[in-house]
Amino acid sequence: MLDWEGKRLGVGPARSGSHVLAESLLTSAGLSEKNQLLEANEPEQLALGRLDAIFLVASPNAPAVRQMLADSRLQLVSFRRAEGYTRHLRYLSHLRLVEGAVDLSGNLPGRDVELLAPAATLVVSKRFHPALTGVLLGAATEIHQDPGPLHQRGDFPSPDFGSFPLTREAEFFHKNGPSFLQGRVPYKVAATLERLLILLLPFLTVILPLAKILPAIYAWRMKNKIYKPYKELLALENQTDRPDFVERLDRLEQEAKELLAMPPAYGSEVANLLLHVERLRNRFTASS
């Protein structure tokens, strides 16, 4: 674009996409005030020599584009600094239109061309019901998922290149894809369940680790109920001369019997505790 200073440039009608984009590019290159910007940007004006260059925002398959590519008098400009422009104008993408991508038999274009392209943005008003987000993006995916001369299958719709913030529902769609429920239940029900899932996700990140820890905590508490009287029983073995020995042994036996209500997984440990109590009682009786 540095070679375009003083040229007659067709940028399209005021406020049109091509006009706005052309002004942005020219301003970035420091050329906007050094060129004659004309609203006409028809290919015929270029072919007749009334314009030196035109800006178009169109698909490579658009009739006007195919017509110009096939016209030997015209040449599609390759942006040598395309990647540099994308660093300054974030809404632009650097794309390569490869040789033969538009028409293989006619070899259009006749060489690889570096292009700049703005992304078409799907915008809704604040009144748009969130329940319809998945339906809308699902339809957009079905329409735009096929590959084209400038993009691969599945590239669009994309959450990138937009100038507006994504809604929470749109973010969820782009990260997780269409809902499993979509098309299987009424969309309002599916949307309600999806929004509920979005709200629950932060809690799930906390609950899932807890789900791994809780069984271990539960097992520790159950075993602690057994180990506590066991510890006291072991201490009592060396205190058979205490006046309250029998009373304490009876209390430990009662506590052990109450532990029989514990889950079956701990039954053998409770049985061992009761057996230990009985052995200590027999030993005490034998020595008395």
Q: For residue 216, give the 3-state DSSP assignment.
A: helix
Distance CA 107, CA 148 (A): 16
Q: What pLDDT score was predicted for residue 195? A: 72
Low pLDDT (below 50) residues in the chain:
none
CA distances in angstroms from 215 to 127, 160, 219, listed in the order given: 47, 43, 6
The pair of three-digit structure tokens given for residue 120, joined into one six-digit string: 């078409």
d(CA 179, CA 42): 44
Cα 94 from Cα 234, distance rounded (Å): 79
Are 17 and 46 a contacting pair, CB within 8 Å?
Answer: no
> pLDDT at position 224, please?
87
pLDDT of amino acid 214 = 83
Give the chain's domains with CATH numbers. 1-118 (3.40.190.10), 213-287 (no CATH)
Residues whose CB falls within 8 Å of the CB of residue 174, separated by 6 or more in sequence, listed in order: 137, 157, 158, 159, 166
Q: What is the pTM of this model?
A: 0.51
What pLDDT score does 16 carry? Answer: 86
Cα atoms found within 13 Å of the Cα of residue 61, Cβ hemisphere only: 7
Closest to 65 (Cα-Cα) out of 137, 57, 210, 266: 57
Phi, psi of 67 (to 5 degrees): -65, -45
Predicted local confidence at residue 215, as pLDDT = 85
